[in-house]
Structure 1
Amino acid sequence: MARIAGIAGMTTPEEESLVSTMLDKSAHRGTHHRKTINSPGIIMQAGWNEVESQPIPRSLMDQAVWDGLSVPIPSSASLAAQKTPFALAAMTADGLLLARDRIGVKPLYYGPCSVGMAFASEVKSLLPATRQIHELPTGKMLLAGRTINIHYEPSIQILPHEDVANTANGLRLRLEQAIARCVQQDEMGSWLSGGLDSSAIAALARPFVRRFHSFVSGVDGAEDLIYGRQMAEYLGTEHHELKVTQTDMLDALPDVIYHLESFDALLVRSSVTNYLTAKMASNYVESVFSGEGGDELFAGYEYIKSLPEDQIQGELLEIIHRLHNTALQRVDRCSQAHGLTAFIPFLDPDVLDYALAIPVRYKLFRDTQPPVEKWILRKAVEDVLPASVLWRPKSKFWQGAGVVDLMEQYAEQNISDADFKRERNLSNGWKLNSKEEFMYFRIFLDHFGELENLDWMGRTKGAPVT
Structure 2
Amino acid sequence: MAGIAGIARHGAAKEVEMMLGEINYRGRSRRHITEKDGITAGIIWNEHEDAFVKRSLENGEIGYNCGPGHYVRETIAGGKIRIYRDELGVAPLYYGKERSGSLCFASEVKSLLKVTNDVNEVPPGHYLDTAGLTSFYKIDTGKYLEKDPVQTATELQEYLRTAVAKCIRSEEAGSWLSGGLDSSSICALAAKQVRKLKTFTAGLKNAPDIKFAREMAQFLRSEHHEIVVSVEDLIRVLPEVIYHLESFDALLVRSSITNYLVAKLSSDHIDEVFSGEGGDELFAGYDYLKSVPLSSLEEELIKITGNLHNTALQRVDRCSAAHGITAHVIFANPDVVRFAFMIPARFKIFENTEKWILRKAMDGLLPEGVLNRPKAKFWEGAGIKDLISDYASEHITDSDFRKERILSDGWILNTKEELFYYRIFRDHFRTADDLRWMGRTKGSPIEVS
Task: Give the structure-1-normalised TM-score.
Answer: 0.93
1:386 to 357, 364, 367: 367
Contact 2:145 2:343 in 1 (8 A): yes
Tell me what 2:83 maps to.
98
The answer to whether 1:431 aligns with 2:416 is: no
The answer to whether 1:331 aligns with 2:328 is: no
1:169 to 141, 154, 165: 154
Spell out the pairing of 1:42-441 with structure 2 (5 A cutoff).
42-54=39-51, 60-61=57-58, 63-69=60-66, 83-93=68-78, 95-115=80-100, 116-160=102-146, 162-366=147-351, 371-441=352-422
- Report the Cα distance in structure 1 between the residues aligned to 2:53 and 2:288, rounded to whole angstroms: 46
Could you say what secondary structure the match of 1:97 adopts? strand
Could you say what secondary structure the match of 2:433 adopts? coil
* 1:62-118 per-position Cα deviation (integer Å, ceiling 9, x unaligned): 732213147xxxxxxxxxxxx420112221236111110010000001110033121
* 1:187-222 per-position Cα deviation (integer Å, ceiling 9, x unaligned): 221011110000000000112222211000111000
Contact 1:218 1:273 in 2 (8 A): yes
Contact 1:51 1:184 in 2 (8 A): no
Corresponding pairs, count = 446
Could you say what secondary structure the match of 1:44 adopts? strand
Contact 1:37 1:63 in 2 (8 A): no
Q: Which residues of structure 2 form unaligned runs of 5+? A: none
- Report the Cα distance in structure 2 between the residues aligned to 1:129 and 1:356, rounded to whole angstroms: 41
The answer to whether 1:455 aligns with 2:440 is: no
* 1:223-262 per-position Cα deviation (integer Å, ceiling 9, x unaligned): 0000000100110111011101111000000000000000
Tell me what 2:5 maps to.
5
Once the 2 structures are TM-superposed, how far is the Cα of residue 57 of structure 1 from its aligned partner? Answer: 7.4
Once the 2 structures are TM-superposed, how far is the Cα of residue 55 of structure 1 from its aligned partner? Answer: 6.0
The answer to which of 179-188 and 258-267 deviates more is 179-188
Once the 2 structures are TM-superposed, how far is the Cα of residue 277 of structure 1 from its aligned partner? Answer: 0.6
Contact 1:297 1:352 in 2 (8 A): yes
The answer to which of 108-117 and 409-418 deviates more is 108-117
* 1:420-454 per-position Cα deviation (integer Å, ceiling 9, x unaligned): 10010011111000000000000000001042321
Once the 2 structures are TM-superposed, how far is the Cα of residue 58 of structure 1 from its aligned partner? Answer: 6.8
Once the 2 structures are TM-superposed, how far is the Cα of residue 36 of structure 1 from its aligned partner? Answer: 1.5
- Report the Cα distance in structure 1 between the residues aligned to 2:420 and 2:118, rounded to whole angstroms: 24
- Report the Cα distance in structure 1 between the residues aligned to 2:44 and 2:340, rounded to whole angstroms: 34
Contact 2:53 2:63 in 1 (8 A): no
The answer to whether 1:16 aligns with 2:1 is: no
- Report the Cα distance in structure 2 between the residues aligned to 1:55 and 1:87, rounded to whole angstroms: 11
Once the 2 structures are TM-superposed, how far is the Cα of residue 143 of structure 1 from its aligned partner? Answer: 2.2
* 1:268-323 per-position Cα deviation (integer Å, ceiling 9, x unaligned): 00000000110011000001000000000110000011111111111100000000
Contact 1:3 1:48 in 2 (8 A): yes
- Residues 234 and 58 of structure 1, relative CA distance in 2, 3 Å threshold: closer
- Residues 448 and 241 of structure 1, relative CA distance in 2, 3 Å threshold: same
* 1:2-24 per-position Cα deviation (integer Å, ceiling 9, x unaligned): 1111111232xxx2111111101
Contact 1:267 1:326 in 2 (8 A): yes
- Report the Cα distance in structure 2 between the residues aligned to 1:146 and 1:450, rounded to whole angstroms: 24
Contact 1:265 1:436 in 2 (8 A): yes
Task: Give the structure-2-normalised TM-score.
Answer: 0.97
- Residues 318 and 35 of structure 1, relative CA distance in 2, 3 Å threshold: same
Contact 1:104 1:138 in 2 (8 A): yes
- Residues 255 and 126 of structure 1, relative CA distance in 2, 3 Å threshold: same
Once the 2 structures are TM-superposed, how far is the Cα of residue 133 of structure 1 from its aligned partner? Answer: 0.3
RMSD: 1.5
Opposite residue 388 of structure 1, the aligned amino acid is G
- Report the Cα distance in structure 2 between the residues aligned to 1:59 and 1:390, rounded to whole angstroms: 41
Could you say what secondary structure the match of 2:166 adopts? helix
Could you say what secondary structure the match of 1:259 adopts? helix
- Report the Cα distance in structure 1 between the residues aligned to 2:122 and 2:174, rounded to whole angstroms: 30
- Report the Cα distance in structure 2 between the residues aligned to 1:69 and 1:249, rounded to whole angstroms: 28
- Residues 414 and 238 of structure 1, relative CA distance in 2, 3 Å threshold: same
- Report the Cα distance in structure 1 between the residues aligned to 2:2 and 2:151, rounded to whole angstroms: 38
Opposite residue 165 of structure 2, the aligned amino acid is A
Opposite residue 139 of structure 1, the aligned amino acid is G
Contact 2:37 2:80 in 1 (8 A): no
Contact 1:94 1:144 in 2 (8 A): no
Contact 1:4 1:121 in 2 (8 A): yes
Opposite residue 358 of structure 2, the aligned amino acid is L
| Paired-residue identity, % | 48
- Report the Cα distance in structure 2 between the residues aligned to 1:200 and 1:175, rounded to whole angstroms: 9
Opposite residue 223 of structure 2, the aligned amino acid is E
Q: Which residues of structure 1 form unaligned runs of 5+? A: 71-82
Tell me what 1:26 maps to.
23
Once the 2 structures are TM-superposed, how far is the Cα of residue 155 of structure 1 from its aligned partner? Answer: 3.7
- Report the Cα distance in structure 2 between the residues aligned to 1:61 and 1:422, rounded to whole angstroms: 55
- Residues 198 and 155 of structure 1, relative CA distance in 2, 3 Å threshold: closer
